[in-house]
Structure 1
Amino acid sequence: MTTEFQKHLPMRITMSRIFIVPVIVALMWPNDLWYNVIAAVVFIFASITDYYDGYYARKYNAVSNFGKFMDPIADKILVTSVLTMLLAQGKVDAWMVIIILARDNFISGIRSVAAADQIVIAAKPAGKWKTAMQMVAIPLVIIGSMEPYLPYLDKIAYGVLWISVILSITSGIEYYVGYLKSKKALGSPIN
């Protein structure tokens, strides 16, 4: 039997990801090495919660439409807030942020249209790899240069983030093609 606490745990975990964003941004604000390290650790913790909200939702049979909607929103708030701060600090290029945000909005639009058409588009490998690359690169970009301890860490992280940008484009195309194929398979006209 699922308790009231267990029933609400997945949504609390999802919402914690949103509420922790101001903490991460505040820690990034001084742009000091040790504040950045703490911000990166908190970002990693927030990223890990993305796994656990889904895990507990399935374990406690607490899957909800609101949770399905809020989970990717929480992810977008976390990533876009941190990328915006990194952009303000000059640690990432505007094009990176534009492409990542445009892809996320595009995918959200496709998911909305697909849901209206009662089509479920499965997660694509490029999208999963994109997320993995971002979750590795973003904390390292937050930390930045750690000379002389870890030379070139910032440059490696920047390169990995560009890989995630390329995967963002690839996965956006995969989602779009997946939607078109699903629509065609149902015999629906593509408008």
Structure 2
Amino acid sequence: MNLANKITLARIFLVPVLMIFLLVKYDLGQFRLGEGTITVSEIIATLIFITAAVTDGLDGYIARKKKLVTNLGKFLDPLADKLLISAALISLVEMQRLDAWIAIVIISREFAVTGLRLVAAAEGQVIAASAMGKLKTIVQIIAIAALILNNFPFSSIAFPFSQIFVWLAVIITIGSGVDYFVKNRRVIRFSKSR
């Protein structure tokens, strides 16, 4: 197994670790800034999430740079992304920091685009990540990290940073999903005709 695939696997293995720090109640202490507080568990969970999210770009870069692109990597990379984002969103719903409908919209878009890519792959075509899709990923990562941190340190000045990024994530997620289907409608039309 090459380095890029090992990094992708590490991202998958970080998912349950993230969930442990998010959902299991540890009393590791907390920090206070004005009216805002944050637990040590939330800080650790945020660091785990950001580390896992950064490896998404790292494994792809290594695979392309060192010519280590494999079928296993093509399968594992999007799977790891979906697992990380879905686990974080579902955990945030459980923690009552995110409305369930928002998690459903974001997760549904991820699976819909994955389905479109599978149809394209069956037809021998590859749907590359778009600029809007990459922006969607960045905004989702910021929104999720801000929610894990419970809007800290912005809660101390009553600035709704996390909510702003959640709404941006929803809008860009829907927009990028529509963009993928509109730009690749030929894939759907072609598969229907066969």
1:151 paired to 2:157: yes
Within 5 Å, give how 1:59-138 maps onto structure 2: 59-138=65-144
CA-CA distance at 1:179 after TM superposition: 1.5
Q: Flag the 1:106–1:148 CA change in 2: closer, same or farther, 3 A.
A: closer
User: 2: CA distance between counterparts of 1:152 and 1:39?
Assistant: 23
Q: CA deviation at 1:117?
A: 1.2
1:20 alignment partner, SS class: helix
| Residue number in structure 1 paired with 2:62 | 56
CA RMSD of aligned residues (A): 2.1
Structure 1 gap ranges (5+): 1-6
Counterparts in 2 of 1:57 and 1:151: CA distance versus 1, 3 Å: same
Aligned counterpart, 1:179: 184
Partner of 2:19: 25
1:190 is displaced (CA, Å) by 4.6
Q: 1:112 to 1:145 in 2, by over 3 A?
A: closer
Supply the distance in 2 between the matched residues of 1:148 and 1:133 (Cα, whole angstroms). Answer: 17
Structure number having the greater strand percentage: 2
Query: Bigger CA drift: 48-57 or 114-123?
Result: 114-123
| Code of the aligned partner of 2:100 | A
In the TM superposition, residue 148 of structure 1 has moved relative to its aligned partner by 8.1
Residue identity in the other structure for 2:165 = V
Shift of 1:157: 1.1
CA contact (8 A) 1:14 1:71 kept: yes
Q: Which runs of 5+ in 2 are unaligned?
A: 27-37
Task: Give the 3 Å change call, closer, same or farther, for CA 168–146 of structure 1 in structure 2.
Answer: closer
Structure 1 vs Structure 2: percent identity of aligned residues?
A: 37
Mean Cα deviation higher: 85-94 or 20-29: 20-29
Please state how far the C-alpha of 1:62 moved relative to its aligned partner. Answer: 1.1
Q: Contact (CA 8 Å) 2:139, 2:169: kept in 1 or not?
A: yes
Q: Does 2:165 match 1:160? A: yes
Partner of 1:9: 3
